[in-house]
Chain A
Amino acid sequence: MTKRDITLTLNGKTVSGQADPRMTLVDFLRVVLKATGTHVGCEHGVCGACTIVLNGEAIRSCLMLAVQVESQEVITVEGLCEEDGSPGILQDAFRDGHGMQCGYCTPGMLTSVHALLQSNDDPSDEDILEAIGGNICRCTGYAQIIDSIKIGAERLREDKS
């Protein structure tokens, strides 16, 4: 199989790598680009662990091929950090709400919520459920994730104003 060159914008920076046409996007991110923050959970699009933000929308990176993101804009959990790598506002909100335990579904949760808050900075309870309805968490029973999202949304609104 001939590898393809792929160039994309990952977390605001232009990056390139090579992948077989059949390589999934999540494998490309993790194995080729070494962006291991994004996790693989089910590889069939149900659990949401591999969620990333593609051109502003939360999508499953296990259900896309690497070659499909040529020249596209991708945000992963690493992209939610501050410039110096310290936790961003939403990430710190998840710490304050303890919106996780094992941390495995967390990157997918954060990117789903990031996509929500980009388009809706004051989400209702229903909006929140809708946004993370495709992200399975086995540890928390979701309550502290919901708490964390509310803390994060409020802080992001304050940060904007």
Chain B
Amino acid sequence: MSGAHDNPVAGSNYHYIARKRRVVEDKRFVTGNGNFVQDQDLPGTLHVAVLPSPHPRARIVLINAEAALALAGVAAVITGDEIAEHTLPLYHGLPLPECRWFPLAHEMTRYAGEWVAAVVAEDIYIAEDALDLIEVEYEATPAIVDPEEAMKPDAPLVHPGHGSNIIYDGDFEWGPVAEDFEAADHTLSFRARWGRSSTVPIETFGVLAKWDKGTETLNVWASIQMPNYPEQIAAALRMPLNGVKVNQDIDVGGSYGVKRGIKHTVLVGYISRKLGGAPVSLIEDRLVNLASGDAHGPDRIFYTDVAFDQGGVIKSLKIRAIDDCGAYPGRGPFQLGKPIAAIVGPYRINSVHYRPCSVATNKTGQVPVRGMGQGPTNYMIETAVDEVARHLKLDRFEVRRRNLIRSDEFPYLNPTGTKYDSGDYETVLGKVTELANYDDLVKRRDELRVEGKLAGIGIATCLEPSGGNNLFEFLFNPKAEISTYMEGCQVRIDSVGNIVGTMGTTTSGQGHETLVSTILGEELQRDPDDIRVIHADSLAGLPTRSPIASRMAVMLGGAAAGAAQKIKDQLFQIAAHNLNRPIDGLEYSEGTIFDRSDPARKLSWDELCNIAHRQFHKLPEGMEPGLQALHVMQVPLGGQMPDEKNRVQLYPCFSFQAHIPFVEIDPGTGKVTVLDYFIAHDCGTVINPDIVRGMIIGGVAQGIGAALYEKFDYGPDGQFLSGTFVDYVMPSVFEIPYVKDVEHCTPSPLTSHGQKGSGEGGYLGAPAAIASAVNDALEPRGLSIHELPMRMNDIEELLNGEKPE
């Protein structure tokens, strides 16, 4: 067993960072004292149930809610007409004025399960009873389900006013693509399909809203993880932004990007105001979550051309990416934009032609999923590398070694204008082959093959862009002139020397309280266990862009370090003034500042805090009393807009992982068993080893799910077929082997302690690695598969088709 332990960081001597320490948040979770949205208990709360459309595409002719309203305990029934009259359409990332999106279907339904009406009642049981009493007359019309069919000119339109189902169609060329293809020894083409799946947290989305008449404030408690949430609530409800108070101290029961219930929130916010201030809650049940929660992930088709030389060195890529964003695009199309940051992966690919296209169909909406499209993109890139190896009959590991950027090439400028900050890819690849005992693994595989079994070894070497930035939005939409993705942290030291760190956003399992307290403890040399970290509500507000984009270690960590530095600066000034010594003659140790030439001359932490809070006469002239500092961090290397060739630094930091899974396929049933899984991982300095290890392995498990099991299925008629966990299959402990991991540390030169993001990496490489392993297992049969998920029946069909007559 390889439990987490201290993570030695080259050239450093940290007290708390990189040390195995308990995670602050865990204590309340193990005792049942988490503060989840469903645990909020406001007297008189009303509950909302939503009526799903049975038709994927239909005109709503009539809604009769009389009987429902007459049921005892029902407070209101809301329809799309009412919502459309009193709220503004929800926000899409792209300018799509004719794709009007409301919390409830207005005039027509656009996917099976779309909410047609909402019942508000004393309890959820009554609300659900009332749903059965609502009569709706529909005029059903044919639905469009397949994204490539949806692109055709005669396809039924999801948004007739928009005139087409194409939501976005881009064309980017970086570097001399035509020349590189012309000069290449070989080219090959393939189609790869990433199926519609998501991260599906065990807690569904939930929200509670209460309009406070006295202060004219809409209070919101939600299991949310999204940037600009208060802004979008205020805009849709036509309220001032400073009248929306989002309470960020709600524990979010998993998200991985998808907890973005903006339509749910606008609906309950509207209802609470309409009803004069009653608390109103909407907690998705699992069917609503799966069918109509707007929480599906990328659903993508790649057509890729690869140009490469005789040695397997890849020169150029041409990528057509078609993504099915469902009925309401929201921020979904940007999942084609973020991967531009690493569109050439960790490889020295000279040029790339990228044509991303987002298409609407009659399905529930798409939201950003862990890595924001980087997972599908990495799957496509790794497929390209494996295909090159297969074409040239070269070893897949060797082809990677020939293409990986070398450690002496950093910072490395890729053709899209993004600089990779640091890395040592070949060493990490070496570490995972060592961990996997690769030669032995090959022996095991070959022995299984001799026994007539199908067995395969996978390999994927992938990047995790981290630190976040929003410039892909500008690449897709020139009106979005946004060049910062800031994060704030405030530190206050009270009069008795206790430390409070304040962050401005929710947490959904990433351990941000641990992150902030560890960094503050390190910087201020105080025990992190004595540091309290709180989540400011959105009005008490710190600038934040929420915990997306693998950015919190870099950005919140950096903000905490910056705030701590400001506190220390103030303490030095107080000490210099009182000890009558220049600052550069003083030294800081565990909160005490002393005179280096006469260590007996000193001021303790308690004394310094007391002076700051109570003894104005001892403060240097001009200094504010009290001891607090806010630091707002700008994204490293951010602030530049793209040049005329669309070249720009998209993300600042790049973590790297190398995955080796070992799989066996039952030749009779097509069942894939993941026998072993090895990963080597480099996210620079690890702040908390347990947290990083957990996110890596957890991401691998989700990636195994996306590769082998998980899919939101729709019938050809547009009916949703994955409404339970029995249909949308998620891996249990039986499907996930005990993942063995090893860390490597190439510090980032851009961050406070050399850290990079680590929340997405496992997920960003595992699907590609599993696909590589499955294809290795299929190779002796001359078969391959480039479509995820590779479910048992898919592989069984593939194998049976190969059976001799």
User: Which residues of chain A have a CB within 8 Å of any CB of chain B?
Assistant: 20, 22-23, 30, 34-44, 46-47, 49, 76-78, 81, 85-87, 91-92, 94-98, 100-107, 110, 129, 132-147, 150
Partner of A87, one of B27, B251, B253: B27
Interface string of B234-255 (1 = CB under 8 A from A): 0000000000000000011111
Chain B neighbourhood of A47, CB < 8 A: 202, 725
CB distance from A123 to the nearest CB of B (A): 13
| B39 at interface, CB cutoff 8 A | yes
Q: Is the CB of A138 within 8 A of B30?
A: no
CB atoms of B199 and A78 under 8 A apart: no
User: Which of A41, A94, A138, A150: most chain B Cβ within 10 A?
Assistant: A138
Q: CB-defined interface of B688-705 with A at 8 Å, one 1/0 digit per residue?
A: 001101110111111000
What residue of chain B has the Cβ atom nearest to residue A98's Cβ? B690
Q: Which residues of the partner chain B approach A107 to less than 8 Å between Cβ atoms?
A: 32
Q: Is the CB of B125 within 8 A of A140?
A: no
B701 close to A140 (CB less than 8 A)? yes
Complex Cα spacing A92 to B203, Å: 23
Q: Does B762 have its Cβ within 8 Å of any Cβ on chain A?
A: yes
Residues of chain A within 8 A of B31, CB atoms compared: 37, 77-78, 81, 85-87, 91
User: When the two chains form their complex, are residues A98 and B4 in contact, meaning their CB atoms are under 8 A apart?
Assistant: yes
Given A98-B23, A147-B3, A141 and B736 contact (CB-CB distance below 8 Å): yes
Residue from the set A91, A134, A142, A145 with the largest chain B CB neighbour count within 10 Å: A142
Q: Which residues of A contact B201 (CB under 8 A)?
A: 102, 104, 138
Which residue of B26, B33, B724 contacts A100 across the interface (Cβ within 8 Å)? B26
B786 to chain A, nearest CB (A): 25
B7 at the binding interface (Cβ < 8 Å):
no
Report A-chain residues with C-beta under 8 Å of the C-beta of B1: 147, 150
Q: How far is the CB of A132 from chain B (nearest CB, A)?
A: 5
Inter-subunit contact B22/A96 (CB<8 Å): yes
Q: Would you call B509 and A132 a contact (CB within 8 A)?
A: no
User: Interface readout for B14-50 with A: 1 if CB under 8 Å, 0 if not?
Assistant: 0000000011011111111110101101000000000
> Known contacts A78-B31, A102-B254, A103-B509; is A139 also within 8 Å of B698 by CB?
yes
Contact A143 B739 (CB under 8 A): yes
Q: Mark B168-203, 1 if CB is under 8 A from A, else 0.
A: 000000000000000000000000000000011111
> Considering the chains assembled together, what is the distance between the CA atoms of A107 and B253 in angstroms?
12
A46-B510 in contact given A134-B732, A144-B690 (Cβ < 8 Å): no
Please state if B36 and A95 are interface contacts (CB–CB under 8 Å).
Answer: no
* Known contacts A38-B32, A77-B32; is-contact A49 B202 (Cβ 8 Å): yes
* A142 to B736 CA separation, bound complex (whole angstroms): 8
> Using a CB–CB distance below 8 Å, which chain B residues touch chain A?
1, 3-4, 22-23, 25-34, 36, 38-39, 41, 125, 199-204, 251-256, 285-286, 508-511, 690-691, 693-695, 697-702, 724-726, 730, 732-734, 736, 738-739, 762
Residues of A within 8 A of B286 (CB): 41-44
- Smallest Cβ distance from A81 to chain B, in angstroms? 5
Per a CB cutoff under 8 Å, which of A20, A35, A138, A145 touches B202?
A138
Among A20, A30, A37, A101, point to the contact of B511 (Cβ < 8 A).
A101
B732 touches A103 (CB 8 A): no
Contact flag A100-B285 (CB < 8 Å), given A138-B200, A141-B697, A147-B3: no
Say yes or no: B694 contacts A142, CB within 8 Å. no
Q: Which residues of A contact B725 (CB under 8 A)?
A: 42, 44, 46-47, 136
Are B254 and A106 in contact, with the CB atoms below 8 A?
Answer: no
| 8 A-B pairs with least C-beta separation | A37-B32, A103-B29, A104-B253, A102-B509, A141-B701, A101-B509, A98-B690, A46-B725
A35–chain B nearest beta-carbon distance, Å = 8
Which of A20, A92, A139, A150 lies in contact with B694, CB distance below 8 A? A139
B695 to A, closest residue via Cβ = A101
Chain A hits for B508, CB < 8 A: 102
A137–B734 Cα distance when bound, in Å, is 12
> Is B738's CB under 8 angstroms from A146's CB?
yes
Contacts A20-B125, A36-B38, A36-B39 given: A102-B253 contact, CB under 8 Å? Answer: yes
- Whether the pair B32, A76 counts as a contact (CB closer than 8 A) is yes
**Candidates A44, A77, A91, A104; contact of B203 at CB < 8 Å:** A104
B730: which A residues are within 8 A, CB to CB? 136, 138
Task: Name the distance in Å between A149's Cβ and chain B's nearest Cβ.
Answer: 10
Determine which of B33, B511, B690, B724 lies in contact with A44 in the assembled complex, contact meaning CB atoms within 8 Å: B724
B698 touches A140 (CB 8 A): yes
A133 touches B734 (CB 8 A): yes
The reply to whether B739 and A141 form a contact with Cβ atoms under 8 Å apart is yes
Is A104 a contact partner of B739 (Cβ separation < 8 A)?
Answer: no
Contact residues of B: prevailing secondary structure: loop
User: Cα distance A110–B527 when bound, in Å?
Assistant: 29
Looking across the interface, which residue of chain B has its beta carbon closest to that of A34? B41
**In the complex, are the beta carbons of B30 and A137 less than 8 A apart?**
no
Q: Which residues on the A side are within 8 Å of B253 (C-beta)?
A: 39, 102-104
Partner of A41, one of B203, B732, B738: B203
Q: Which of B255, B508, B690, B691 has its CB near the most chain A CB atoms (within 10 A)? A: B690
- Chain B residues whose C-beta falls within 8 Å of the C-beta of A44 in the assembled complex: 286, 724-726
Are the C-beta atoms of A138 and B29 separated by less than 8 Å? no
Asked if A141 contacts B699 (CB within 8 A), the reply is: yes
Interchain residue pairs with CB less than 8 A apart (28)? A20-B125, A22-B125, A37-B31, A42-B725, A44-B725, A44-B726, A46-B725, A47-B725, A77-B32, A78-B31, A86-B31, A87-B27, A91-B31, A95-B23, A98-B26, A100-B29, A101-B254, A101-B510, A103-B26, A103-B28, A129-B733, A136-B730, A136-B732, A137-B202, A140-B701, A141-B694, A144-B4, A144-B697
Residues of A contacting B27 in the complex (Cβ-Cβ under 8 angstroms):
87, 95
Quick check: A23 and B694 within 8 Å, CB to CB?
no
List, in ascending order, chain A residues with CB within 8 A of B30's CB: 77, 87, 91-92, 94-95, 100, 103, 106, 110
Give the residues in chain B near A135, CB-CB below 8 Å.
732-733
Question: Given the complex, which residues of A lie within 8 Å of B38, measured CB to CB?
Answer: 30, 36, 39-40
A20 to B73, CA, bound (A): 14
Q: Complex Cα distance A37/B29, Å?
A: 8
Residue numbers in A under 8 Å from B199 (CB-CB): 138
Cα A23 to Cα B694 with chains together (Å): 36
**Are A104 and B202 within 8 A (Cβ)?**
yes
Q: How distant is the Cα of A38 from the Cα of B34 in the complex, in angstroms?
A: 10
| In the complex, chain A residues whose CB is within 8 Å of the CB of B762 | 141
- Known contacts A132-B733, A139-B254; A104 and B36 CB within 8 A of each other: yes
Q: How many Å lie between the Cα of A22 and that of B126 in the bound state?
A: 11
Of listed A40, A76, A146, residue having the most chain B CB within 10 A: A40
Cα-based distance from A52 to B255 in the complex (angstroms): 24
Excluding A138-B730, A142-B733, 20 further A-B contacts by CB distance (< 8 Å) are A41-B202, A44-B725, A49-B202, A91-B30, A95-B27, A100-B29, A100-B509, A101-B695, A102-B201, A102-B252, A102-B254, A102-B255, A102-B508, A104-B201, A133-B733, A136-B202, A136-B732, A141-B701, A142-B736, A144-B4
Q: With a CB–CB cut-off of 8 A, which chain B residues contact A38?
A: 32
Q: Which residues of the other chain, B, contact A138 by a CB distance below 8 angstroms?
A: 199-202, 254, 256, 698, 701-702, 730
- Complex Cα–Cα for A104 and B203 (A): 7
Q: Give the Cβ gap from A60 to chain B, nearest Cβ, in Å.
A: 12
Residues on the A chain within 8 Å of B23, using CB: 95, 98
Would A141 and B700 count as touching, CB distance under 8 A?
yes
Q: Is the CB of B32 within 8 A of A133?
A: no
The residue from B22, B204, B251, B699 contacting A103, defined by CB atoms under 8 A apart? B251
Contact A23 B700 (CB under 8 A): no
Q: A22-B125, A34-B41, A41-B203 are in contact. Are A103 and B34 (CB under 8 A)?
A: yes
C-alpha gap A102/B508 in the complex (Å): 5
Cα separation A30 to B34 with both chains bound (whole Å): 13
